[in-house]
Amino acid sequence: MTNPSVVQDTRTPLPGQEAATEERLSEILSSYQGKDDELIPILQGVQQAFGYLPELAMKRIAEFLKLPESTVFGVGTFYAQFKLHPSGKNIVRVCRGTACHVRGGARILRQVEKELGIKPGETTPDFDYSLETVACFGACALAPVVVLNKNVSGRMTTTKVTGMLGNRGD
Ligand code: FES
């Protein structure tokens, strides 16, 4: 039940990293009783702790709740709030709101997708960039808007997108 378009984290854990993950997981799980209906709160706790749902965590949660791993993975992949891989070092957010849409937001999103080679919800294979869309940044006067990390760029054009992302050094 995995999404083939989603980049999986294939990096080898650093020495000690897996042990640290296990330790943090044990801490999280120790505040639950092991009941089925705790699955979503546990997933939320793990995501909050790690920023995503590590594969090891999904396995430990399945053991803890005595559920099939496929059930835990199924829930983890079903809800948009959960991420199965770490976000990129940089987050590009493109506005999909009405004001941005009427001023060419869809074209801007396409250009961002082209520059990064990914779709919304995905991360580049080098984990440098993740792409997300937002309903409205509340900066409609600047439409169309793109936010790179915390930097808001308004009145975006495809040329500005290329200037922002075209020289990624890869
Ligand atoms: S619609 Fe894009 S910032 Fe409001």
In this prediction, residue 2 carries a pLDDT of 39
- What digits encode the pLDDT tens for the residues 99-126? 999 999 999 999 999 999 999 988 999 9
CA of 1 to the centre of ligand 1 (A): 34
Q: How confident is the model at residue 166 (pLDDT cuts 50, 70, 90)?
A: confident
CATH number of 90-165: 3.40.30.10
Could you please state the CATH topology (level 3) that the domain comprising 17-78 is classified under.
Arc Repressor Mutant, subunit A (1.10.10)
Measured in whole angstroms, the distance separating CA 3 from the mean position of its chain's CA atoms is 13
Ligand 1 in contact with 58 (CB < 6 A)?
no
Whose tokens are 């808001």? That residue is: 152
What is the pLDDT, as a whole number, of residue 83? 86
Residue 35 CB-half CA count within 13 A: 6
Q: CATH 3.40.30.10 spans which residues of the chain?
A: 90-165
Ligand 1 pocket test: which of 145, 146, 147 has the largest number of ligand atoms within 8 Å of its C-beta?
A: 145
- Residues contacting 109, CB < 8 A, separation 6+: 94, 96, 120, 133
Please write the tens of the pLDDT for every residue from 2-11.
344 444 444 4
Residue of 46, 19, 18, 21 lying closest to 31 (CA atoms): 46
Residue 89, both tokens: 């070092």
Domain(s) labelled CATH 1.10.10 in the chain stretch across 17-78
